[in-house]
Amino acid sequence: MSLLTIQNLSVEFPTRRQLFTAVDKADLSVEPGEIHGLVGESGAGKSTIGAAVMGLLERPGRIASGEIMLKGEQISGLDADAMRGLRGKKISMIFQDPLTSLNPLFTVREQLTETIQAHLDLTPSEAKQRARDLIDRVGIPDPDTRMDQYPHQFSGGMRQRVVIALALCTEPDVIIADEPTTALDVSVQAQILDLIKELARERQVGVILITHDMGVIDDTTDRVTVMYAGKVVESGPTEQVMGNPQHTYTRSLIAAVPRPTIKLHRFPQISYGGRETRFAIEDLASHWPKVENDPDKPLFEIRNLTKRFLQRRGLLPWDRDYFTAVDDVSFDIQAGEVFGIVGESGSGKSTVARMIAGLHPVDDGSVTFDGKLVSDLSDKAALNAYRQDIQMIFQDPFSSLNPRMRVDEIVAEPIRHHRLMEGKAIKKRVDELLDQVGLGSGAGQKYPHEFSGGQRQRISIARALATQPRFLICDEPTSALDVSIQAQILNILKDLQEHLGLTMLFISHDLPVVRQMCDRVAVMKEGKIVELQNTDDLFASPQTSYAKELLDLMPKLDDLSTEGLNAAE
Amino acid sequence: MLAYIVRRAFQSFVVLLVVGLVAFSMFRFVGDPIDNMLGQERTQADIERLRGELGLDLPFPVQYFKFLQGAAQGNFGVSYRQGRPVSTIIKERAPATLELALVSGVLAITVGIGLGVFTAIRRRGFAANAIMTISLVGVSLPTFLIGILLIYVFSVELNLLPSFGRGETVMIGGWSTGFLTASGLKALILPAITLGLYQMTLIMRLVRSEMLEVLRADYIRFARARGLNDRVINFRHALKNTLVPVITITGLQLGSIIAFAIITETVFQWPGVGLLFINAIQFVDIPVMAAYLMLISVMFVSINLIVDLLYYAIDPRLRTEGKTT
C-alpha cells in the first residue's frame, strides 16, 4: 500500500462563464522515503494537486471527483477541522519563496513552538527543546542564538531551512514541496535539495516535489509525473522518463531545457499543443537606422566601476557604514556582441547594468559609450541621445509595466518622450512593433493584466525597441518564465540581435541560458569580476575555482537522449 | 536608540517653535483685544496705555520672544478675559478634555479594530456588509450633526442621558474626574461617541483593507499549511502585521481627537479646553490662544514620537541594523 495515493482526481474552478478544470483525472502515488517529482509548465495544475492534498484549495475551487488516500484512509472530503488536524501534522508543505513564507514579526522559535504545540501535547520547554533540535537538524549553525532571531536576519537559503524545519515539526508522513528552490541561487539550491533528499531517506517521508525545472527533477527525484494542461501525460521512474520519454510533450519539454554543453543556433521550442509562434523581424530591419560602428573601438568601455550603498546612516562620516556592491569592475563590450554577466544574487551584476543605464549614479570609475564619456554628457540633448540608444528589459514582467496604461501607450511612451515621431506615425510604429514581437497589433488596445508573463515580456521588448536603440540591457529577462516561454523570448532576442545588429548586455544566473545567448561572459562574485572569457572557453575550461564551482553546481541533463532535440527542431 | 529619541526630540522642539511663530503672526488678524477689554467709554490715552502694558505695540516677533521667555519659566501670561493666569485656567479645563479624548480614543481603537478584523474575516457575510454600509454614515456625517442627533434621540426623546455638561465630578489631587460618579459617566457617553465615531469608522475601514491584504500573504498560507487554527492565524499572525500602517493613521487621528474636541465640546457644552479656546477667540484672548495652540502641538508632536517608537516595538526589522547571515 502506498503512503499517499491520488486516484482519478479532478479539481474544478467554476467561474461565471465556464467551468475551468485545473486538474483532470490525475493519478499519483508516493511511497515512504520516495521523492516524487511533479513537473509541468505554469498552469499545468501541479500546484493545484498540492493544494488539494493539503485541503487548501482557494475558493471557489473544489474536488469534483476522485479521492486522495493517506495510508489507506481517505482524506479528501474531510471537514475543515479534521483537515486542519492533518495539515502540519501528517502532511506538511514547503513554499516557493522563503522570503515571504515566514511571518516577519515573530522569531523563528515562536513560529516553531506554536506549530509544535498546535499538534503535539508538549510543555513549552519540551517544545522549545524540540524546536532547537529541528533547527540543528536542518543545518543551521549555532541554533541556540539563531532560534531567537527574526526571519529577516536569515539569508534566503537559511530561511528555506527554517521553512523545512517548520514542515518537519511533527514528523509528517508526506511533505509537499512547491518549487522549494526556484527563488534560490544555484549553490543554495543544491544544498537545500540535498537536505530534502537526506531527510526523506532518514525519516522515510514521502515527498512530492513540484517544479518546472527539469534539471532539479533529474538530480533529485526517484519517480516523476509530467503534467500538461491539467492532465498527467507521463509517469514513471525518473531515469526512464528522462532517458526515454514516451510522450511528445515530455520529449519537447526536455529538449527545451537550455544545454550547457552544446551551443545551438536557436532555442528549441516546445512544439506540443501548437503554440509555436514565428514572426518576421525582417520588416523591422528594413527601416532600422544603420549605424556604422568603429570596428577597432569597443562600443562600451567600462573602467574601474565602483558602487557603494549606505548601510548605516550617520551624521558623522565615520559613523556611516557602506556596502560595496560593485568593486572596481572593468570590461569592454564590442559592438554587435552579446556580453553576459553571471553570478549569484548579491554579486552586483544588476547594479553594474543599472549604472550603465544611468539608473544608479556611478560612485567611482567611468563608462565610455561610443568614444564619449557618459559622465561628461552634461547637456540635455546629448544625455537624451544616450538614453535613446540604450534600453532596458527588466526581470519581472508583472511589475515593469504600468498596470493603468494601455499597451499601445506603454510602447508609445519612449517615442513621445524623445519626440521621435508625431501623430499617426506613432500609432503605425507601435502597431508594427507589437506585430513583430508576435502579439498582433490588436494587443495595443488592452491592458497589461490581460496578458501572460511571456506576452508581457514581449511588450517590454517592444517598448525597448521603440526608440530604435543600439544597445539593449536584459536583466534576467526570462527567469520568471517557463522553459517554453523562455525559449520563445530568447529566440526573439537572438533574432533582434542578429537582424538589427544590436549589442546586448545579458544578465542571468542561469548558466545554460548564458551559454546559448552570449559571446563573452564575465563571472561576478561579491562585486568583483573573477573571470572574463569567451563563452565556449569558460564552459570548456573554467580558469578560476569559483567559476568551476558554479559550473559543477548547475543541474545537468547530459545523460539524456538527444532524440528530443531533433524532435523539437 | 537613545540617539534617535534625542534627535526626534530636537526636531520636535523646532516644530514647536515654528508653530508658535506662525500662531503669533496670525493673532493680529483675529481682532483687537483692546476693543473687548475696555468699555464704550474709553479714551485714546486708555487704549495706548493698555496696549503698552500688554506689549501689543511691539512687533509680533518680539511679542513671540517674550511669550517664549515666559513659557520657558512655565508662565503663559494672564488671560485678558478672566484676569487669571492661563496655566491655572488650562489646568482646570484640561481634565475634562483629556478624559473625553481618552474614552473616545479607547472606544475608537477597540471597536474599530474589532469590527475591522470581523469585516475582513467575514468578508462575504451579511453582518460584515451591513457594518461596512453603516460605517459610511460615520465617515460622511459631520460631527456636530451626529452630536445633535444623539442629543435629540437619547436626551430629548428617550430622556436617558444628559444633553450637556460633565455631571458631578470628584477632585483627586487637582484633577477633576467624572469617572467616579454615575452622572459623570452618563454624561460622558454621548460626547465620547460623537467625538470617536469618525475615528472608529476610519480605523475599522483601514484595519479591514490592511487585513484583507495581509490575509493573502504567503506566510498566512504557510501558517494554514502548518495546521494552525483560525484564531491564531487571524489574531496573532495577521493582526500584528496590519498594525504598522494602522498605528500611523491612528496616532494622527488620536491627535485630532484632542484638537477637534472643540466642536463636540461646543455641542455638548463640555467644560474642556476646546470650549475655552472658542471663547478665547471670540474675545481675542491672546495668551489663552497661544497656550492652547502650543499645548496641542506638544500633543501632536509627542503622539508622533510615540507612534515611531511603536514601530520599533512591533517590527523587528527596524530594530536590528540590516545584517543578514
Say if the Cβ atoms of A153 and B217 lie within 8 Å.
no
B208 part of contact set with chain A, CB < 8 Å: no
Q: Mutate one of A48, A147, A152 to test the B interface: name it (highest B CB count within 10 A).
A: A152
Residue of chain B whose alpha carbon sits nearest to that of A105: B315
Contact in structure between A436 and A279 (CB atoms under 8 Å): yes
Please give the residue that has the higher pLDDT: either A466 or B51. A466
Q: Which percentage of chain B shows pLDDT scores above 90?
A: 5
Say if the Cβ atoms of A97 and B229 lie within 8 Å.
no
The answer to which of A316-320, B154-158, B202-206 has the lowest mean pLDDT is A316-320
CB atoms within 10 A of CB B151: 20
Which pLDDT belongs to residue A566? 43
* Residue of A56, A105, A154 lying closest to B315 (CB–CB): A105
Long-range contacts of B279-284 (CB under 8 A, 24+ apart): B279/B81, B280/B79, B280/B81, B281/B30, B283/B33, B283/B36, B283/B80, B283/B81, B284/B27, B284/B30, B284/B31, B284/B32, B284/B33, B284/B35, B284/B36, B284/B80
Helix residue ranges, H only, B122-164: 126-140, 143-150
DSSP-derived secondary structure letter, A530: E
B222 part of contact set with chain A, CB < 8 Å: yes
Phi and psi torsions of A2, nearest 5°: -75, 160
Consecutive H or E run containing B78: none
CB atoms within 10 A of CB A20: 12
Say if the Cβ atoms of A101 and B237 lie within 8 Å.
no
Q: Mutate one of A103, A116, A208, A319 to test the B interface: name it (highest B CB count within 10 A).
A: A103
CB-defined contacts A:B, below 8 A: 90
Q: What is the largest CA-CA distance in chain A?
A: 77
Which pLDDT belongs to residue B169? 78
Residue of chain B whose alpha carbon sits nearest to that of A52: B225
- Distance from the B325 Cα atom to the nearest Cα atom in chain A, whole angstroms: 6
Cell of B255: 491627535
Cell of A438: 508576435
Contact residues on chain B for A114, CB-CB shorter than 8 A: 228, 232, 236
Q: Which residues contact A451 (CB under 8 A, 6 or more apart)?
A: A407, A439, A443, A459
Say if the Cβ atoms of B221 and A150 lie within 8 Å.
no
Contact in structure between A95 and B221 (CB atoms under 8 Å): yes
> What ranges do the domains of chain A cover?
299-553
B221 part of contact set with chain A, CB < 8 Å: yes
For residues B55 and B47, give the distance between their C-alpha atoms in angstroms, rounded to a whole number.
12
Work out the burial of residue B302: count CB atoms within 10 Å of its CB; fewer than 13 is exposed, 13-18 middle, 19 or more buried: middle
B314 part of contact set with chain A, CB < 8 Å: yes
Decide if pLDDT at B325 tops 70.
no
> So what's the architecture of B93-284 in CATH?
Orthogonal Bundle (1.10)
- Secondary structure of residue A340 in the 3-state scheme: strand
Cell of A239: 531515469
Residue of chain A whose alpha carbon sits nearest to that of B3: A314
Which pLDDT belongs to residue A41? 82
Say if the Cβ atoms of B222 and A105 lie within 8 Å.
no
DSSP-derived secondary structure letter, B233: I
* Residue of A87, A88, A311 lying closest to B322 (CB–CB): A311
The sign of the dihedral angle between the CA atoms of B295, B297, B303, B305 is negative
Low-confidence ranges of chain A (pLDDT < 50): 275-276, 561-569
Helix residue ranges, H only, A395-534: 407-417, 424-436, 453-465, 483-500, 511-517
Q: What is the pLDDT of residues A236-276, one digit of tens each?
A: 999 898 888 888 888 888 888 877 777 777 777 766 655 44
Which pLDDT belongs to residue A316? 67
Contact residues on chain B for A103, CB-CB shorter than 8 A: 219, 223, 237, 241
Q: What is the pLDDT of residues B224-279, one digit of tens each?
A: 888 888 888 888 889 888 887 888 888 888 888 887 788 888 888 888 888 888 88
* Residue of B221, B226, B317 lying closest to A88 (CB–CB): B226
Contact residues on chain A for B4, CB-CB shorter than 8 A: none
- Which one of 1.10.510.10, 3.40.50.300, 3.30.70.1230, 3.40.50.410 gives the CATH number of domain A299-553? 3.40.50.300
Q: Mutate one of A91, A101, A162 to test the B interface: name it (highest B CB count within 10 A).
A: A101
Q: What is the largest CA-CA distance in chain B?
A: 86
* Residue of A56, A101, A150 lying closest to B218 (CB–CB): A101
Contact residues on chain B for A97, CB-CB shorter than 8 A: 218
Residue of chain A whose alpha carbon sits nearest to that of B320: A153
Contact in structure between A76 and A68 (CB atoms under 8 Å): yes
Compute CA distances A168 → A121, A152, A362, B201, whole Å: 16, 21, 47, 43
Contact residues on chain A for B224, CB-CB shorter than 8 A: 56, 87
* Residue of A102, A155, A312 lying closest to B325 (CB–CB): A155
